[in-house]
Structure 1
């Protein structure tokens, strides 16, 4: 799949997810997964996380929320309660991407890729869902 086609599908997946059309979002994401190699799917995750970072910066301005380190820190709705590996992947990947930490992004992606069963697919879907949720939050502001 060429870069333009992949970019269009990523945009479609995110737009459908933001609009609440999970079936069309899943179709676009499935098309990406079926026509992309592992390296390209890493790029897909980075593109989705890049959209998430953009939204975070729009919500919070140019200054990232700080925990004393000047870095983004994300938690689930119930702090400390996230135990689902795909949810953890999504939060950690988005945070690492927003904090410009490509080594952690690659390590998280590699771990998801090598996981059992559908965990890899679920992880990419969770990343899309989290970023779509941030987009919906930004649209309400």
Structure 2
């Protein structure tokens, strides 16, 4: 997949989630994971986190890199599962332009592999979609 394909897939997945069509969003996630190309999956995660950042700025105002916290992303600052925590931490790091942390988090999740990696990727999509949903409320 090239960058435009990844971007198109990522945007479509967010829109499907916002429209309540979770099965179509999951089909896109599975297709990304099935490419076996970690750059494609990381690119999609970055697109979902980036769309969340734009949504945060629309609802909370622009901030300097490093000023976003987990509490800005999620009211409790915590999540229920390791994968949900990964999603929150990845999006927070992305919003703070902390590229070494986004890469380290992604590499750790990718190394875990299997269902844990899949659920981690879905968690980033879920956080990005939730932040976008705030704008439409």
TM-score, normalisation: structure 1:
0.86
**Structure with the largest fraction of helix:** 2
> Mind listing any 5+ residue stretches in structure 1 that lack a counterpart?
none
Which residue number in structure 2 is paired with residue 5 of structure 1?
Answer: 5
Counterpart secondary structure, 2:104 = helix
1:90-101 alignment to 2 at 5 Å? 90-101=87-98
CA RMSD of aligned residues (A): 1.9
1:70 CA displacement: 5.9
Segment drifting more, 104-113 vs 26-35 = 26-35
Matches within 5 A, 1:103-118: 103-115=100-112, 117-118=114-115
Residue 39 of structure 1 deviates from its aligned partner by 2.1
Taking the aligned partners of 1:93 and 1:63, their CA distance within structure 2 comes to: 17
**Shift >3 Å, 4+ stretches:** 75-80
1:3 Cα deviation from its structure 2 partner? 2.1
Runs of at least 5 residues in structure 2 that lack an aligned partner in the other structure: none
Q: Secondary structure at the match of 1:114?
A: helix
User: What TM-score comes out, normalization by structure 2 length?
Assistant: 0.89
User: Which structure has the larger Rg over C-alpha atoms?
Assistant: 1
Equivalent positions of 1:122-137 (< 5 A) are: 122-137=119-134
Q: Is the 8 A contact 2:69 2:92 kept in 1?
A: yes
Pick closer, same or farther for the CA change 1:35–1:127 going to 2, 3 Å: same
Number of residue pairs matched by the alignment? 135
The match for 2:136 is 139
